[in-house]
Amino acid sequence: MKARYLRPALALPQIYLYRDPIDFRKQAHGLAVLVEQELGHNPFTGALYVFSNRQRNKIKCLMWEDNGFVLYYKALAEEKFKWPRPDDDLLLLTGEQMNWLLDGYDISLLKGHKKLHYEAIN
């Protein structure tokens, strides 16, 4: 697998995917206002917020890092991102799932086996 250096870290503790499309003219300040006013979150906590346009061919990520916002932007040349349906406004992701999304996988289908807990064999 090719190394990817400008990607969200796998160890990011909080990654929120906003399911509805947004106006992609919004920059860091506009996205921070959306996080604060529509989601009721504090945009300065260091959590990563992920947004997409209506065509689902672009992603913007917003994160506060120490003394300013980091804005990550990816625009696909031909395909679309596999975006979860807008059942709920916000979806919590792991760093691994976020990178799968950037690679084009449908994260709504990527579910592992359920965990089984037994007390005894018999």
In a domain, 73, yes or no: yes
Is the pLDDT score of 102 beyond 80? yes
Taking a C-beta distance cutoff of 8 angstroms, is the pair 17, 37 a contact?
no
Taking a C-beta distance cutoff of 8 angstroms, is the pair 91, 52 a contact?
no
In a domain, 71, yes or no: yes
How far apart, in whole angstroms, are the C-alpha atoms of residue 2 and residue 5?
10
What's the domain count of the chain?
Answer: 1
Q: Quickly state the pLDDT bin for 112 (edges 50, 70, 90).
A: low
Q: Quickly state the pLDDT bin for 121 (edges 50, 70, 90).
A: confident
Q: How many CB atoms lie within 10 A of CB 74?
A: 14
Q: How far is CA 118 from CA 108, 115, 121, 122, in A?
A: 28, 10, 7, 10
In a domain, 25, yes or no: yes
Taking a C-beta distance cutoff of 8 angstroms, is the pair 95, 15 a contact?
yes
In a domain, 96, yes or no: yes
Residues 22-38 pLDDT 10s:
999 999 999 999 999 99
Q: Quickly state the pLDDT bin for 70 (edges 50, 70, 90).
A: very high
How far apart, in whole angstroms, are the C-alpha atoms of residue 45 and residue 65?
9
In a domain, 109, yes or no: no
Angle at 5 between CA 107 and CA 30, to 5 degrees: 65
In a domain, 116, yes or no: no
Its domain, for residue 25, covers: 15-103
Residues 12-23 pLDDT 10s:
889 999 989 999
Tell me what pLDDT residue 1 has.
56
Work out the average pLDDT over 106-118. Answer: 68
In a domain, 117, yes or no: no
Tell me what pLDDT residue 114 has.
63
pTM of the entire structure?
0.80
In a domain, 44, yes or no: yes
At 44, list the tokens.
């300065």
Tell me what pLDDT residue 118 has.
80
How far apart, in whole angstroms, are the C-alpha atoms of residue 91 and residue 80?
19
